[in-house]
Amino acid sequence: MNLIKMYKHFVVIYMKGKLAYHFALVFELIANTIQIGVYFAGFMVIFHNFESIAGWSEYEVLFMFTTSWLAYSFSCFFFWSPMKDMGELIRSGKFDLYLTRPISPLMYMVLSQFQYTFIPRLVLSIVFWAYSMNKLSIDWNPCNIAFYSINMLSAFVIFSAITIFTGTISFWTVKSEEIVSLLTNNNHGLKNYTDYPITIYSKGVQFILIAIIPYAFTGYYPVASLLGKELTFPIFAFLSPIIALIAAVGAYLFWHYGLRHYGSAGS
């Protein structure tokens, strides 16, 4: 409860600072809204020319990737900016300041910022998620609701763990912005591969999305099961919570390992 109050306090301070340049903030939100809107427009163009992709209809694919986007957007509110900026914090020596705080450095980094630029992505994702769900005949019985909710939470944990892992690499490379973008940026990174059924990709790409960077468990497998799609390995539809637990523990251990081996690069 204290962390929630602290986070709200930090968000208010952070946004007051941003509102000092309110025109820049507004234009940034508008630019992000246009960018995400163009992405959805491109999606509609694809399905204007193709009735289905790998046996998935327009609304099924839309429901799948907005499910993934919702979890991704919530994760980015907390972890995208801190992990993206890790390299710069270490290079400048500013990360040393986080080590003097009475709470853990990662917690302080999360609390002291608010990635408001993901608000347009979240809002549009909710709109198209609701729109696609209204077009599908999903039996939302208590079992399916629980299954979907658990997998949404698991997707949030998976995205967060991968983002933390990529940011932690900065303890050794000092500069990891490109790695963070490569793996987690939804516009041109590996994350972009989760927007469509993974069966459209080569076996190599599928292996990466399943066994190495487990994005397939953030949307494809849970939603495929919910929609009654035939899967080569049906058990995969129920592995998201286990993958999330493994990813979370791995990211936690890797972060603390990097923290123990941190040497200031600042002056």
CA 98/CA 101 separation, integer angstroms? 6
Residue 249 pLDDT class (50, 70, 90 cuts): very high
CA 96/CA 105 separation, integer angstroms? 9
Which of residues 263 and 122 earns the better pLDDT score?
A: 122
Q: What percent of the chain has pLDDT over 70?
A: 91
Q: What is the pLDDT of residues 36-87, one digit of tens each?
A: 888 888 888 888 788 888 899 999 999 998 999 999 999 988 898 888 888 8
Q: What tokens appear for 152 in the block?
A: 């949404």
The parent domain of residue 176 ranges over 2-260
Give strand ranges (E) for 70-144: none
Averaged pLDDT, 89-106 = 86
Q: What is the pLDDT of residues 188-231, one digit of tens each?
A: 678 888 889 999 999 999 999 999 999 999 999 999 999 999 89
CA 171/CA 153 separation, integer angstroms? 28
pLDDT value for 5 = 75
List the beta bridge partners of residue 53: 56
Residue 266 lies in a domain: no
Residue 267 lies in a domain: no
pLDDT value for 255 = 95
Residue 166 lies in a domain: yes
List the beta bridge partners of residue 52: 57
pLDDT at 264 over 70: no
Helix (H) or strand (E) run with residue 76 in it: helix 58-84
CA 43/CA 50 separation, integer angstroms? 11
> What's the structural domain count of the chain?
1
Q: What is the pLDDT of residues 152-187, one digit of tens each?
A: 999 999 999 999 998 898 888 766 667 777 777 766
pLDDT value for 119 = 87
Averaged pLDDT, 130-144 = 93
CA 82/CA 89 separation, integer angstroms? 9
Q: Which of 21-25, 95-99, 117-121 has the lowest mean pLDDT?
A: 21-25
Helix (H) or strand (E) run with residue 52 in it: strand 52-53
DSSP-derived 3-state class of residue 201 = coil
